């Protein structure tokens, strides 16, 4: 399969009162057409910053892509003209944001928000856009779409709002869908419905999906390949089945061990990863997981190489963590 998205040595950061802080540090991965790549890691590890860097949606003026390459459909997006990015977002790349209530305009009916996106990116009439909007709401499983199209976001449940976000993201048949924690704050049943809907729409439309989540269960169900991030860096990348069966990095092993299991004895204490992530202002230049584990010496001072250890399997090769 051909590569749709290629990220190489991506660095992104934010200007703060105390200076520049780097939230993403040398991230690299590829995504092929029609496949799903998951990015997983604890909160604050750089998952969302990586995704927003791709579509030039880091908060301005503080947020900026500092270095690296972002190639999409054989075009370099880093440094692209804002007008070019404006056309790509929503048209070739659809985005499902983490909080639909914050992403949707609270004073506009949901139908108008879908129609606006269609009119912006497609040569169509308002009447045809309205018809398409109703079809999209029906496709994402919203009952009585002819009536619901006139609702405001606050009149919909959390699951319904997320379905509207999916309809907006897919309205122009993008080649790539970026889904940033698409099931946050939804109950388990609605989560499953949303994930099933995304998988169904992906299969029907043949698009690629970049799925950002902290939920390893979602990764196992939905993804072909997974990128594990820690403290702004990729520590491991592998096909999903291979990573779950044979994790190599100590952080990945810790994440998998912390998943609650039905066969655990009652009142068994859940496993956790010792220590905590350092402040972004205090990240070590070397292995940041060693920093968390209070390992001194050279591993914390010298950055470990990120290498392809076997075809399709990439690893940050810290000797203390692998």
Residues ≥6 apart with Cβ < 8 Å to 258: 270, 271, 272, 273
CA-to-CA distance for 21 and 281, rounded, in angstroms? Answer: 6
Q: What fold characterizes domain 3-92+174-316?
A: Rossmann fold (3.40.50)
pLDDT score, position 202: 93
Q: List, in order, residues 6 or more apart from 109 with CB less than 8 Å away.
A: 149, 150, 151, 152
Domain boundaries, the chain: 3-92+174-316
Q: What is the pLDDT of residue 96?
A: 92
In the sheet where 176-180 sits, what is the strand order? 93-96, 176-180, 208-213, 36-40, 225-230, 233-239, 313-316, 306-310
- Whose structure tokens read 């205090």? 282
pLDDT string in tens for the chain (322-residue length): 579 999 999 999 999 998 999 999 999 999 999 999 999 999 999 999 999 999 999 998 999 999 999 999 999 999 999 999 999 998 999 999 888 888 899 999 999 999 999 998 888 999 999 999 999 999 999 999 999 999 999 999 989 999 999 999 999 999 999 999 988 778 888 888 889 989 998 999 999 999 999 889 999 999 999 999 999 999 999 999 999 999 999 999 999 998 877 776 776 777 889 999 999 999 999 999 999 999 988 899 999 999 999 999 999 999 999 9
Q: Are 263 and 209 in contact (CB under 8 A)?
A: no
Pairing state between β 75-76 and 63-72: antiparallel
Residue with tokens 């990116």: 121
Q: What is the pLDDT of residue 194?
A: 87
DSSP assignment, residue 285?
S
Q: Say if CB 218 and CB 38 are below 8 A apart.
A: yes
Q: Which residue has the tokens 């196992």?
A: 220
Which 3-state string (H, E, C) describes 1-15?
CCEEEEEEEEEEEEE
User: What is the rounded CA–CA span in Å between residue 297 and residue 105?
Assistant: 52
Residue 1, pLDDT score: 59
pTM: 0.93
For residues 190 and 241, give the distance between their C-alpha atoms in angstroms, rounded to a whole number.
25
CB 187 within 8 A of CB 165: no
């Amino acid at each position: 399969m051909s590569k749709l998205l290629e990220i190489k040595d991506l660095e992104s950061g934010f200007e703060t009162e105390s200076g520049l802080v780097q939230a993403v540090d040398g991230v690299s991965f590829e995504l092929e057409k029609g496949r799903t790549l998951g990015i997983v890691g604890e909160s604050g590890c750089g998952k969302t910053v990586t995704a927003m860097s791709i579509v030039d949606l880091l908060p301005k003026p503080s947020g900026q892509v500092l270095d690296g390459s972002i190639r999409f459909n054989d075009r370099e997006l880093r440094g692209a003209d804002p007008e070019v990015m404006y056309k790509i977002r929503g048209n070739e790349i659809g985005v499902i944001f983490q909080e639909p209530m914050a992403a949707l305009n609270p004073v506009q009916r949901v139908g108008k928000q879908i129609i606006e996106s269609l009119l912006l990116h497609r040569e169509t009439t308002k009447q045809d856009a309205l018809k398409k909007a109703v079809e999209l709401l029906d496709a994402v499983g919203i009952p009585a779409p002819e009536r619901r199209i006139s609702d405001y976001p606050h009149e919909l449940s959390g699951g319904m709002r997320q379905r509207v976000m999916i309809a907006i993201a897919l309205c122009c048949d993008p080649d790539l869908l970026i889904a940033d924690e698409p099931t946050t704050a939804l109950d388990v049943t609605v989560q499953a419905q949303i994930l099933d809907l995304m998988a169904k729409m992906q299969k029907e439309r043949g698009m690629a999906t970049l799925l950002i989540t902290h939920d390893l269960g979602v990764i196992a169900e939905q993804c072909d390949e997974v990128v594990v991030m820690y403290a702004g860096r990729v520590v491991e990348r592998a096909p999903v089945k291979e990573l779950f069966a044979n994790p190599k990095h100590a952080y990945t092993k810790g994440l998998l061990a912390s998943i609650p299991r039905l066969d655990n004895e009652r009142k068994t204490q859940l496993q956790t990863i010792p220590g905590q992530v350092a402040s972004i202002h205090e990240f070590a230049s070397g292995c940041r997981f060693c920093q968390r584990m209070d390992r001194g010496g050279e591993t914390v001072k010298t950055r470990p190489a990120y290498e392809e250890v076997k075809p399709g399997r990439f690893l940050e090769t810290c000797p203390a963590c692998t």
